[in-house]
Amino acid sequence: MSVHAAEPLRKVTTHRLFEMKERNEKITMLTAYDYTMAKIVDQAGIDVILVGDSASNVIAGNITTLPMTLDEMIYHGRSVMKAVERALVVVDMPFGSYQGNSTLALASAIRIMKETGADCLKLEGGEEILDSVKRILSAGIPIIGHLGLTPQSINKFGTYTVRAREEQEAKRLISDAHLLEEVGCSAIVLEKIPAQLAGQVASELKIPIIGIGAGNQVDGQVLVIHDMLGMTNGFSPRFLRRYANLHDVIFEAAQHYSKDVKSGDFPNEKEQY
């Protein structure tokens, strides 16, 4: 009987995402912000781990993603990178670190890459950030774009409702997606737009389109891990499927522990030295 060595882990790269699209293989993406969660998600075989600036909401307790700083994103990115062996790790560039100034954008991007060791960056926006996108790409740093409901622009939108329902905004989104592909982005996240529009973009572009609230005619899906695990039970958009109810699991465990400590049941004789 011959003994086979375990298959070597094949690290996911931006090129591999492109191949997956060509093969019609759906791409899985989840957020993670810390070592422990990133390790579980990576071992579960998720293709892309996004160190999202949604950390601002689910970790830091802010209402929007705008307060997130470059230092905070680097902290989360570095923690995730220590855990991940297979997945492609993408770090969000935070609000204020790349808009309107391509020199600042490149400096911010280089800091994230050097200090976290991440594989790729994600930036929100289209034509209006194209100079920054090109400058970062020129340094050999892969970029994933993000169009549709871009949370860093929430003060412009004024609402978290579905974007690009109107023809003018839909046309602009299609044109922005083409621009991002032409300059060399590796993929695009489309957030909260009509499924048909997302499907059109996915069929017109060669690079993968990863949706969140953008239907199933795209090349992959992304969810915020706290939402899909049911930890944020006050947040229930239509696009969200909950795969667990960790809110109740954690709540009940904390209550049980409290009861055991107060009654003197914990620790028992076997749980002490």
Of the pair 106, 189, the CB lying nearest ligand KIV is at 189
> Nearest-CA neighbor of 135 among 171, 168, 99, 160?
99
The answer to the question of residue 92 lying near ligand KIV (CB under 6 A) is yes
Binding mask 45-84 for ligand KIV (x = CB under 6 A): -----x-xxx------------------------------
Whether residue 67 has a cis bond before it, omega within 30° of 0: no
The answer to the question of residue 219 lying near ligand KIV (CB under 6 A) is no
Q: 22 by DSSP, 3-state: which?
A: helix
Site for ligand KIV in 154-193 (CB under 6 A): 189, 191
Question: Which residue bears the tokens 């529009």?
Answer: 197
The token pair at 119 is 């594989």
Query: Which residue has the closest beta carbon to ligand KIV?
Result: 52
The answer to the question of residue 212 lying near ligand KIV (CB under 6 A) is yes
The answer to the question of residue 87 lying near ligand KIV (CB under 6 A) is no
Of the pair 205, 223, the CB lying nearest ligand KIV is at 223
Helical residues (DSSP H) of the chain, grouped into ranges: 14-22, 35-43, 55-58, 70-83, 102-116, 130-138, 154-157, 167-183, 195-204, 225-228, 246-263
Catalytic residue among 7, 169, 191, 204: 191
- CA dihedral 210→52→70→89, nearest 10 degrees, is -70
- Catalytic residue at 72? no
**Which amino acid does the sequence have at 167?**
E
Residue numbers in the known binding site for Mg(2+) are 53, 92, 124
What amino acid positions are annotated as catalytic residues?
191
Q: Return residues touching ligand KIV (CB under 6 A).
A: 31, 50, 52-54, 92, 189, 191, 212, 222, 224
Residue numbers in the known binding site for 3-methyl-2-oxobutanoate are 53-54, 92, 122
